[in-house]
Amino acid sequence: MYNKQILSENNARSVWAHGEKYGYQFQVTINYYRGLPLCCVDQITMVIDGEQVPYDEMYIQHRGREYHYPDILKDDFPTDFYWLFGEPLTVVVKNGKGIEQGIHHCKLTLGTRRSYTPTMVSVCEKDLTFA
């Protein structure tokens, strides 16, 4: 239903600290008409130019906080961090080198679970221009 909208074309860029490029980021929006706790995210998989982004390099930034992606998949992740409909979730990939500026073919798979229906998996494939 929201497949085309889950991968945002906004704010796709390399990220820098102390004059060094250390990774890149992209934004994701929820694939549901309501908000959900972050603990209801079952899957965020990104494939860029045919290569899957390693899970251990992914960090989720939400409302001024940052979480290592594998941590939000754990059963004991707190339930009070809420992701609202329309609110961007920033995924930062800390790979030590960033991403080459320009157009990259991206395929995002987002799986979210709700209390009364099975996990909803959405796939969005598009070309993003990274700054």
* 111 class by beta-carbon count within 10 Å (0-12 exposed, 13-18 middle, 19+ buried): middle
Q: Greater confidence, 118 or 99?
A: 99
pLDDT at 80 over 80: yes
Provide the percentage of residues in the chain whose pLDDT is more than 70: 95
pLDDT digits (tens, 9 = 90+) for 14-48: 999 999 999 999 999 998 888 888 888 999 999 99
Structural domain spans, the chain:
3-130
What separation in angstroms does the CA of 78 have from each of 59, 67, 81, 83, 125? Answer: 16, 11, 7, 13, 30
pLDDT at 115 over 70: no
Pick the CATH number of 3-130 from 2.60.40, 3.30.450, 2.40.128, 1.10.287: 2.60.40
Radius of gyration of the chain (CA): 14
Q: Look at strands 82-83 and 58-62 and give their pairing.
A: unpaired
